[in-house]
């Protein structure tokens, strides 16, 4: 397995990745633009777009912002509403795997910023049926979250005739350099199908064997091309116009609005995924079982590129977190009504054979890992100079956590400080 000589991404990255002669990956090369582009000018471009989309009709929404109880939601709303003076409609797909903190962060988000919000909560029985199917068909417990998050905003855009959707970072750009920032890439159904949904759109899941009808999947179906065209819907990504730094952005939001952070099971980033019981837990463990690396690798790559971590420090963190077992696995198994063996069986079908092999005893083992690539050629010559330390804060909680870990489907969220 080839690993990037600057960050630590492997060549089997599911979004695909390329390497240059020095072994540096496309993600690192595109990331260099963060230090070379004129971001003032980029921001002006953003302002021009936003200005055009400000609605002249009285009181109508200017744009849609998809939000959750974590992952840069505060920053995006802060920027678009408080800094640029737009009137956004917030939309949120309820991913069912909510933590208390996630529910609370979202409740404060809509009250602090005085925004209208639309939430889509699909009935749990259907979500479970779909999740059983996606586990079988692609080894994923997260398909419905990704499908819902990426389609609900578009459905609302065509239904309410709001032609602009504002997203945060484009994962393809930020992780593997799929596009240059200068490409000003926009939301497409193609990217969603291929990369968010692993090639499976809602229609593709219809299956008699899984008792899944078109009706069950209707909430996840993409609007027809004609509906999108009629309204002229466009989805833009802020990281093309703003020098994206998720850690710094979250820290600003902690300071300004009291965003809550929380330690994560399988990574050191305490900001991004506090709203979900499984994202840095079971879902990430599954990612590791499929591709031989987890979320911690994504976070290490990001921090190396932002010059807050050396490659060696990053590898130490990967060593520390990669093999931590998921602590919420039973919460999930109980919710879905399957056994641990059953789950394992499905996941094993989707092991990437470039990185995993079954040994003589029938046990899966890694063919390679980053630890064998600490001293690869070119590592020193392509190294970035570390400029600051990487410390993630843990904020005080607004409310003592309840003694039992549970998924909250719908919760009040907003609390008076105790």
Considering only residues 172 to 191 of the shown chain, the ones binding another protein according to CB under 8 A are: 176-180, 182-191
Helix/strand/coil for 115: coil
Instruction: Report how far residue 275's alpha carbon sits from residue 309's, in angstroms, rounded to the nearest whole number.
Output: 26
232 binds another protein (CB under 8 A): yes
Spatial strand order of the sheet with 88-93 comes to 116-120, 88-93, 63-66, 164-167, 234-237
Q: How many CA atoms does the CB half-sphere of 225 hold within 13 Å? A: 1
Helix/strand/coil for 93: strand
Least spacing, CB of residue 30 vs another protein, in Å: 7
Considering only residues 59 to 118 of the shown chain, the ones binding another protein according to CB under 8 A are: 60
**Cβ contacts of residue 248 below 8 Å, gap of 6+?**
none
For another protein, the binding residue among 193, 247, 283, 299 (CB under 8 A) is 193
Least spacing, CB of residue 176 vs another protein, in Å: 6
Least spacing, CB of residue 35 vs another protein, in Å: 17
Least spacing, CB of residue 238 vs another protein, in Å: 16
195 binds another protein (CB under 8 A): yes
* For another protein, the closer CB: 176 or 296: 176
For another protein, the binding residue among 35, 123, 204, 229 (CB under 8 A) is 229
CA–CA–CA angle 408, 270, 139 (5° rounding)? 60
Paired tokens of 83:
């800094």
Least spacing, CB of residue 206 vs another protein, in Å: 17
* For another protein, the closer CB: 55 or 395: 55
215 binds another protein (CB under 8 A): no
* For another protein, the closer CB: 32 or 251: 32
**Cβ contacts of residue 340 below 8 Å, gap of 6+?**
329, 333
* For another protein, the closer CB: 161 or 386: 161
Considering only residues 318 to 347 of the shown chain, the ones binding another protein according to CB under 8 A are: none
Instruction: Report how far residue 163's alpha carbon sits from residue 256's, in angstroms, rounded to the nearest whole number.
Output: 30
Question: 66 phi and psi, to 5 degrees?
Answer: -70, 130
Helix/strand/coil for 152: helix
DSSP secondary structure string for all residues of 361-393:
TS-EEES--GGGGTT-TTTTTTPPPP-S-----
For another protein, the binding residue among 1, 20, 120, 316 (CB under 8 A) is 20
* For another protein, the closer CB: 124 or 232: 232
47 binds another protein (CB under 8 A): no
Least spacing, CB of residue 124 vs another protein, in Å: 29
Site string for another protein, 117-156 (x = CB under 8 A): ----------------------------------------
214 binds another protein (CB under 8 A): no
10 binds another protein (CB under 8 A): no
Considering only residues 250 to 269 of the shown chain, the ones binding another protein according to CB under 8 A are: none
Which region among 66-74, 231-239, 265-273, 340-348 touches another protein (by CB under 8 A)? 231-239
Would you say 267 and 294 are in contact if contact means Cβ atoms under 8 Å apart?
Answer: yes
H or E, element range at 215: helix 214-217
For another protein, the binding residue among 1, 15, 206, 366 (CB under 8 A) is 15
Would you say 154 and 222 are in contact if contact means Cβ atoms under 8 Å apart?
Answer: yes
309 binds another protein (CB under 8 A): no
Closest CA to 306 of 249, 383, 245: 245
Radius of gyration for the alpha carbons in the chain, expressed in angstroms and rounded: 21
Residues that bind another protein (CB under 8 A): 15-18, 20, 26, 29-30, 52-53, 55-57, 60, 160-161, 163-164, 176-180, 182-191, 193-195, 199, 224-235
């Amino acid at each position: 397995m080839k690993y990037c000589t600057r960050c630590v991404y492997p060549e089997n990255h599911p979004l695909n990745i390329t390497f240059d002669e020095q072994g540096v990956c496309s993600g690192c090369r595109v990331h260099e633009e963060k230090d070379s582009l004129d971001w003032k000018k980029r921001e002006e471009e953003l302002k021009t777009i936003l200005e055009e989309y400000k609605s002249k009709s009285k009181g109508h929404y200017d744009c849609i912002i998809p939000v959750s109880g974590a992952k840069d939601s505060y920053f995006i709303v802060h920027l678009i509403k408080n800094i640029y003076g737009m009137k956004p409609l917030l939309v949120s797909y309820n991913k069912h795997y909510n933590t208390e903190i996630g529910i609370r962060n979202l409740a404060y988000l809509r009250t602090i910023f005085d925004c209208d919000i639309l939430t889509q909560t699909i009935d749990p029985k259907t979500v479970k049926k779909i999740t059983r199917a996606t586990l079988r068909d692609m080894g994923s417990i997260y398909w419905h979250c990704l499908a819902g998050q990426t389609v609900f905003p578009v459905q609302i855009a065509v239904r309410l005739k709001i032609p602009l959707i504002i997203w945060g970072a484009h994962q393809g750009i930020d992780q593997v350099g799929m596009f240059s920032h200068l490409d000003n890439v926009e939301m497409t159904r193609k990217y969603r199908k291929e990369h968010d949904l692993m090639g499976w759109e809602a229609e593709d899941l219809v299956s008699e064997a899984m008792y899944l009808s078109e009706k069950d999947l209707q909430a996840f179906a993409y609007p027809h091309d004609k509906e999108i065209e009629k309204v002229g819907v466009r989805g833009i990504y802020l990281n093309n116009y703003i020098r994206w730094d998720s850690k710094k952005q979250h820290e600003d939001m902690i300071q300004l609005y009291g965003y809550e952070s929380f330690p994560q099971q399988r990574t050191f980033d305490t900001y991004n995924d506090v709203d979900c019981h499984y994202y840095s837990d079971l879902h990430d463990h599954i990612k590791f079982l499929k591709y031989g690396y987890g979320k911690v690798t994504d976070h290490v790559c990001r921090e190396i590129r932002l010059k807050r971590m050396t490659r060696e420090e990053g590898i130490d963190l990967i060593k520390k977190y990669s093999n931590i077992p998921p602590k919420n696995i039973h919460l999930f198994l109980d919710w879905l009504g399957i056994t641990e063996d059953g789950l394992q069986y499905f996941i094993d079908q989707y092991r990437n054979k470039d990185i995993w092999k079954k040994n003589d005893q029938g046990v899966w083992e890694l063919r390679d890992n980053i630890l064998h690539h600490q001293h690869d050629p070119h590592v020193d010559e392509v190294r970035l100079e570390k400029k600051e330390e990487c410390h993630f804060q843990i904020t005080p909680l607004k409310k003592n956590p309840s003694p039992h870990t549970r998924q909250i489907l719908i919760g009040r969220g907003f609390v008076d400080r105790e």
